[in-house]
Amino acid sequence: MKLQTKITLLFFVISAVGLLLMNAAIFYFVSDFNFEDFFKRLEARVRFAAQIKIHPDGRTAAYREAKVKNLEMLDGERDFVARINADGSFKRPLNLPDEFYNTILNGNRARYDRENHFYAGSLFITPYGKYVVIAEAIDPYGYKELNELRKILIIIFIVSVILAYIAGRVFSYYALNPLRNLIKSVKNISANNLHMRVDEANGGDEIAELVSTFNHMLNRLETAFETQNNFVSNASHELRTPLSIISGETELLLARKGLDAEAIKNVNTILHEAEKLENILASLLGLAQSGFDGKKQNWQLIRADELVITAVESVKKIATECTIDIDFSELPENGDQLQTEGNMNLLHLAVSNIVMNACKYSSNQPVTVKIVSQKGAIKISVIDRGIGIPKQEQKYVFEPFFRASNTGKFEGYGIGLPLTLNIIKLHQGSINIISEEQEGTEIQVMLPVAE
């Protein structure tokens, strides 16, 4: 999930929760006010009912007249008066909860509502005895107002939530716009143009700090790449020259007559080690170069079948006793599905390294190279029947200078596969190994089909 979407959703959730709480509070306080107002009006009728029905004096008519003038008639309005006997018993005029009557008997105001029926009651102590007075009424207008308020709040909530989502999208877009510009600038920087820098952002916010950090990192990377590039460019001449001199002088020394057997043996050892060192140096230089050189000016469209054929022919010239079969049985009908983009020399080196290893570690037993193109990828499989790779060591075979424990009788430097992996990665591909000790190895190279 993108950061912009996360910010939008977070803004939306916070806004929705805030609006929900606000609407709930509005509805609660309005309904509480309505109920409180209605109960007060009902309690006024309780007092008038007590004055009218309990006191048998000349003021009854005056109270009745005052009630008619000052209090409007409520829907379903009724009042009840019950005398409390000496033993505390009385006839309950309405079927209401015990808690309601107990509250009255304790001398407190009692309130109760049920399905839009409201009840209020009080205890009155007079010279004529104790009385329970209860008033009942219906509040249809109050409930209607609350229902209308509920509908309005729901509509306001839905509209506000939609607006909050839109506002969140707009807010997240403009908030992350500097970050998008930064990502766009960084994507344009590669090994070919490390001299480029990200435009400095205005202000002293986190984006400006991030831009500054990127530029400092690019300064360090440019210095490191230039150092490595200089080494790769110069090491070949600086290191190969003395090695060539050593090899040449050693060969001249061997050509002299009169050397005893011990001297000849020592000179041959020097020559062999010099050649070995020169091979290691060439492999190391190739490994270093393939690891950083991402320039594409020499890249071209390459057909995988032609690549395999040329690589196999090169290996056959070196490993003349090895039989290499190329399996074209699953080639696609569309030749474009066999085309990949890359550097021909580097890919040739990578494939030939794998085929050469297959021949070497299988003691020149038959090797099969198979090409398949499917789902936008080209798979080149090299299958041998050699010594295999111990299962616990397979994860280390792409580390420089690592050699499996069962390869002691075979010459090698542990650089070929790391070099191959670097080349394949450079071409946006991957390598997979399937191997069983003493049964053989299959190395699969995956390369993308050129668009």
Q: Lowest mean pLDDT of 121-130, 151-160, 224-233, 435-444, name the range.
A: 224-233
For residue 174, the Cα-to-chain-centroid distance in whole angstroms is: 22
Q: What is the pLDDT of residue 60?
A: 54
- The answer to whether 110 and 50 are in contact (CB under 8 A) is no
pLDDT above 90 (res 218) = no
Spatial distance between the Cα atoms of 231 and 239, rounded to a whole number of angstroms:
11
Residues 269-320: pLDDT tens digits? 888 778 767 766 766 666 565 554 444 446 789 999 999 999 999 888 888 8
pLDDT above 60 (res 441) = yes
Biggest CA–CA distance in the chain, Å, is 160
- Stated pTM of the model: 0.50
pLDDT above 70 (res 194) = no
Torsion-angle region of 2 (φ positive above 0: left; ψ -120 to 50: alpha; else: beta): beta
Residues 127-146: pLDDT tens digits? 878 889 999 999 888 888 88
HSE on the CB side for 278, CA within 13 Å?
16
pLDDT above 70 (res 157) = yes
**Residue bearing tokens 């474009």:** 336
Q: What is the pLDDT of residue 55?
A: 67
Domains of the chain: 3-146 (no CATH), 206-292 (1.20.58), 300-448 (3.30.565.10)
Q: What is the pLDDT of residue 340?
A: 92
CA distances from 152 to 96, 148, 159, 279 (A): 34, 6, 11, 84
Q: What is the pLDDT of residue 229?
A: 64
- Of all residues in the chain, what percent carry a pLDDT higher than 90? 22
